[in-house]
Amino acid sequence: MAINIKYRPMKAFLLAAQTNSFTHAADRLGVTQPSFTVLIRDLEDVLGVRLFDRNTRGIALTAAGKDFLARIERPVIDLEEAYRSIVDLAAVRRGSVVLGALPSTSLTLVPSALGLLRNAHPMLRVRVVEAHNDDLISMVRTNQIEFAIAAQWEPAADLAFQPLLEDQFVAVMPPDHELAARSRLHWRDLVPHDLILLSRGSSARDLFDESTGEQAETTTTASRYDVTHMSTAIRLVRQGLGMTVLPALALPELELGELVACKLQDTSARRMIGVVHRRDRSLSAAAIAFVGKLAAVASELNNNASIRTKGKKTQLGLEPAGELQGKGVKLGRTDPLGVVRLGLACAQVLADGVAREARAAGDLSDGQLLSQGPAPDDT
């Protein structure tokens, strides 16, 4: 036998039992007394018993009413709490999300997005798992994390991908390195030189190995250092032990100082970073809120990723905003997220286009080079 008991009549019954008055209970439920009486009568009809005795002095629970009250009071309270909980989740007033992130995004995208999320939704709990790209994709597929901030090298039928920004790998070297005078660099150009490479599994290392192949294996004259952390690589470069390959996205937080970073021109040296999650699972409200903050930070990064030359702006991927001062590009923190301290300059300007614009603006004579100047807070 199907039971058709609705929430509203049961709530009316509980209020009447608590107040011993249809009038007071109707006020708390927000209905007129005649409408309230109909609710109670409908419930009694469905149950087939009388729940209240009514007289001139008020109302009183019958024996069946007392038994019914004892059985439904806690379940109705639990139902209301479950409803409020789901509403809070939908409104992102509470909840939790577990996500994965590439180390480079943990340095730049994630902290700013977490700050925005905390301001907007202070009760949300977030756990960030940092890992290499292949590990992140595996964790998404096995439901260890809800989504990942990662690169998708090839489309996958079981994964959804929402692009955030394009990143590029750069060679970082001392300013007196022989390759610092080159206007264009490729993977193959790095092989004969001493290299400080991130450990296998990292995107930078995997791409270097795939792009250089046998050339790197047959080169025995150059030194190789394997390190786990990008900050370690920068310290070794600063000691003159070689050059390293890092994602441009991470450079703002690595304090390059006088080190020079030059874009690698190979197509394989670029990657699109975005949000990866399973197609067969919807993101939670908390995850959607965080992805929204990530998109806002990525948009800010893209807006500030430019080089300024006398009022003109040339887009060069993830290069910083800078100003022509004398002979050099002076790099500074000009955006509110503190993301614009990227030292992406080769000795002849980061790209031929900037040099041409600089000459056209009268800031450079033919043959004059742009070199990276000190950052404003380093002077």
At 218-264, the pLDDT tens digits run 555 577 899 999 999 999 999 999 999 999 999 988 888 899 999 99
Q: Is residue 121 part of a domain?
A: no
Indicate if the pLDDT at residue 351 is higher than 70: no
- Looking at the domain assignment, is residue 2 inside a domain? no
pTM exceeds 0.95, yes or no: no
pLDDT at position 113? 94
pLDDT, residue 135, reads 93
Question: What pLDDT is stored for residue 65 in this prediction?
Answer: 93
Q: What is the pLDDT of residue 129?
A: 95
Q: What is 191-206 written as a DSSP string?
A: TTS-EEEEPBTBHHHH
In a 10 Å sphere around its CB, with 0-12 CB exposed, 13-18 middle and 19+ buried, how is residue 71 labelled? exposed
Determine the pLDDT at residue 221.
Answer: 55
Determine the Cα–Cα distance for residues 63 and 67; give it in Å rounded to an integer.
Answer: 6
Mean pLDDT value across the chain:
78
Structure confidence by residue, pLDDT tens digits, 34-45: 999 999 999 999
Nearest to 283 by CA among 166, 117, 134, 161: 161
Predicted local confidence at residue 50, as pLDDT: 95
Tokens of 38: 């109909």
* Segment 95-121 mean pLDDT: 92
Q: For residue 303, what pLDDT is reported?
A: 74
218 or 72: which leads in pLDDT: 72
- Around Cβ 160, how many Cβ atoms within 10 Å? 17
What pLDDT digit, counting tens, does each position of 115-169 carry?
Answer: 999 998 888 889 999 999 999 999 999 999 999 999 988 889 999 999 999 999 9
Are both 299 and 337 inside the same structural domain? Answer: yes
Same domain (yes/no): 37, 151: no
Residue 53 bridge partners (DSSP): 60
Q: Give the CATH number, domain containing residue 52.
A: 1.10.10.10
| In a shared domain, residues 20 and 136 | no
The pLDDT assigned to 218 comes to: 56
Position 202 in a domain: yes
Dihedral sign of CA atoms 78, 79, 84, 86 in order: positive
Contact present, 168 and 262 (Cβ < 8 Å): no
Average pLDDT over residues 166-186: 91
Residue 374 has pLDDT above 50, yes or no: no
Do residues 239 and 210 both lie within one domain? yes
Cα(354)–Cα(360) distance, integer angstroms: 10
User: Has residue 337 got a pLDDT over 70?
Assistant: no
Q: What are phi and psi of 99, to 5 degrees?
A: -130, 160
- Among residues 29, 57, 90, the one where a domain terminates is 90
What whole-number distance in Å separates Cα of residue 96 and Cα of residue 119?
Answer: 15
More confident residue, 87 or 59: 59
Same domain, 335 and 188: yes
* Among 86-95, 132-141, 335-344, the least confident range: 335-344
Percent of the residues in the chain that have a pLDDT greater than 70, as a whole number? 76
**pLDDT > 50? residue 175:** yes
Q: Domain containing 167 — which CATH number?
A: 3.40.190.290
Model pLDDT, residue 156: 92
Maximum average pLDDT range among 79-88, 131-140, 336-345: 131-140
What is the pLDDT, as a whole number, of residue 315? 31
Examine the domain organization and report whether 56 and 157 are in the same domain. no
| Statement to judge: residues 73 and 111 lie in one domain | no
269 and 163, same structural domain? yes
Q: Is the pLDDT of residue 76 over 70?
A: yes
Shared domain for 355 and 290, answered yes or no, is yes
Binning pLDDT at 50, 70 and 90, where does residue 357 land? Answer: very low
Give the model confidence (pLDDT) of 277-308 as tens digits: 999 988 888 899 899 999 999 988 877 654 32
For residue 373, what pLDDT is reported? 34
**Residue 123, domain member (yes or no):** no
Chain-centroid distance of CA 347 in Å reads 34
* Residue 342 confidence (pLDDT) above 80: no
User: What was the pLDDT predicted at 153?
Assistant: 83
Residue 56 falls inside a structural domain? yes
pLDDT at 338 over 90: no
**127 located within any domain:** no
pLDDT of residue 216: 54
User: For the chain, what is the domain count?
Assistant: 2
Mark whether 74 and 150 lie in a shared domain. no
Asked whether residue 145 is assigned to any structural domain, the reply reads yes
Is pLDDT above 90 for 11?
Answer: yes
Regarding whether 178 and 33 lie in a shared domain, the answer is no
Residue 96 lies in a domain: no
Residues 361 and 231 in one domain: yes
Q: Which domain holds residue 248?
A: 103-115+132-278+284-378
